[in-house]
Amino acid sequence: MIVVEGLSTKWYRVGRGWLMAAGLTARQGRLLPFVRRGQSVRIPFLLLLVHAATAAAAPAPGPATPQPRGFSLRGMDHVKLPLHRAGGPYCLKGTVNGRESGWFLVDTGTSVTIIDYGAVTRLKLPVHVPEHPVPDRRPTRPGEMIVGFDTLSVGDASAGPSVAATIDLSFLKQYLGVEALGILGNDFLAPQPFKLDLVDGSLTLYAPAAFKPPEGADAYPIDLSRGLVSIRATVEDYDGWFIFDTGNAGGLVLYDPFARLHRLVEGRTNSAWYGTGVGGSELMRHARMDSLRLFGRTERGVWMDVPASPGRDNVNFAGTIGMELLEGATYSFDESARSLWVERPPAPSTEVLAKRLGPAGSTDLAGVTPLMRAAQMGRRDVVETLMDGGAAVNTKGYLGHTALVYAIRAEHPEVAALLLERGASPNATTNVRGMTALHFAADHGDADTCALLVRRGGDADAKDASGDTPLFRAAEGGHLRAVEALLAAGADVAARNRSGMTALGYATGAVNTDVAAALLRAGADARVRANNGWTPLMMAAGFGREGSAKLLLDAGAPINDTEPTGGTALMVAAKQNRLEVVRVLLDRGADVGLKSNEGKTARDYAQSAPMVFRELLLHEVGSGSAPKAH
């Protein structure tokens, strides 16, 4: 999604037409589960391009009459468009200026429509650039370049003349499986009523006068004041506005301000992953929520993602709701009524769902097969039917995920067990990160599935692209039972990844200190250094885990060891304002007089942490090591 936060305008003459340029304050958002948000940026934007015929009829020298927003249905009551699944999201066919056709990602989590920069170049569309453009560089962020177009057609509906943002969308192919011509956002979707059928896969656009709310459907309020469709949802006991985001193939994302305000991450076991996309790369925390109430239903044990870096998210929304939580229902939107209606049909029978998913050997745009989809849905009956009909159990989708991985990620262990019985490979690796099914099971803390995978030949020491073994994933998430299952299966506790870290280093950041204790009992080395020279004790200090610090010190971790810049664990804790860790280290004899390579002591690093500074000063005074006044 791309959230527009502010607007100023100015008109320019373009040939015989008119162009309105605007300065937007915008915040990059999430197009897919892999696409991360960025900070607010000031960008130029074009709102309207009026062609010669319209401009000629307009009084000079003012701007022409703006075109209506949304799509023209050419006098029809409605236009129904087929949607094509591309992994998680849906795409539809669109054409720009009647010359270039391709796939548009349907993204209600984006406030502006985007056209791929390559298509802009081929079509020679008029481009507006910033005052100080970077020469010879393709745009990578929305707003770096804005383009005008004559028509944007989807089926029998068309829009234009109008404008869109442009960026290089080539990165989307690794997630969608196809080249993307563009992203269809709310600026063209929301102006007219529309129905998004995520059961049969269709988008219906309605003429406002012809739209009627579906009979018997439940109505819910929506807000579009910021160009995005947002809905009410409750996480745990906390209510907020969440972006309805069909461009997000994942499930629940909590924005950092909302998560911090309600302390929804603190005290929970969680793991980390990097998401990459339009907004750049960002570390995400992955944790499980007790409950999510959405559209009158309560989901239990929902996984959510939260940016690990504080203060880097939108304060206007609590988060986003993605396709994993939206699929299986039909949604009708009416901006004028500020409402959406939800129709959720009963679970289909085995035969109906198998037919709906398609022939056993078919795939969607991203290479996802009916067997993968059934495994993700937890429909063991349909999985059996498809395999009996000849579905290949080890086929990989575009991202390299097999049906087994889909079942494990969606936490359907009974389906995973069935797939293994029918020949699923436990050691097949994904294309992007090189993870095996055992990595995913460990990441979710599924000890029973971890044990089953090993019994079926899964490699307990398989390394992903970063060199992490399944033990790393379980340790980082604080999943004690999964760690114990992997250790019992012979996982190497001393294995090191490409950064030189061990599972113990990962475990120091977990809330559950029992994991670090289990690894130490299994022979993990408390003295081992990562490639950057950091010890597990320094990592525990940085994470603020005083329990882990005590365990490491009890296991013989050197308290005054230094990393290449001369920093100690005490300096790390002081700089990160980790008061409880500072107290543990001081009680255990940490040397407050040591200096880093830049000549600073721990107290010097605590200048912006008054409580830590006070603790260190009191310790220095008590020990007689405080500097003398002159």
Q: How many CB atoms lie within 10 A of CB 265?
A: 19
Same topology between domain 1-345 and domain 535-630: no
For position 600, what pLDDT does the model report? 96
For position 266, what pLDDT does the model report? 72
Consecutive 10-residue averages of pLDDT for the chain (630 residues): 40 38 40 34 36 31 47 95 95 96 95 93 85 49 76 96 92 91 94 96 96 95 90 96 93 89 76 49 73 95 76 76 94 95 95 94 95 96 96 93 96 97 96 92 95 97 96 93 97 97 93 92 96 96 94 96 96 95 96 95 94 92 60
For position 627, what pLDDT does the model report? 57
CB 368 within 8 A of CB 339: no
Q: Which helix (H) or strand (E) holds 238?
A: strand 238-244
- 260-264, long-range: CB within 8 Å, 24+ apart, which pairs? 260/310, 262/235, 262/236, 262/238, 264/235, 264/236, 264/238, 264/289, 264/304, 264/306
| Count of positions (residues) in the chain | 630
Give the ranges where 322-392 is alpha helix by DSSP (H).
Answer: 323-326, 350-357, 370-377, 380-388
CB 530 within 8 A of CB 563: no
Q: Which residues contact 506 (CB under 8 A, 6 or more apart)?
A: 472, 475, 476
Integer Cα distance of 557 and 380 in angstroms: 49
For position 138, what pLDDT does the model report? 55
Domain boundaries, given as residue ranges, for the chain: 1-345, 535-630
Q: Which helix (H) or strand (E) holds 153?
A: strand 152-154
DSSP 629: P
For position 316, what pLDDT does the model report? 87
**1-345 fold:** Cathepsin D, subunit A; domain 1 (2.40.70)
Tokens representing 77? Answer: 């009551």
For position 122, what pLDDT does the model report? 95
Tokens representing 251? Answer: 């499930």
Integer Cα distance of 606 and 610 in angstroms: 7
**535-630 fold:** 1.25.40
For position 133, what pLDDT does the model report? 47
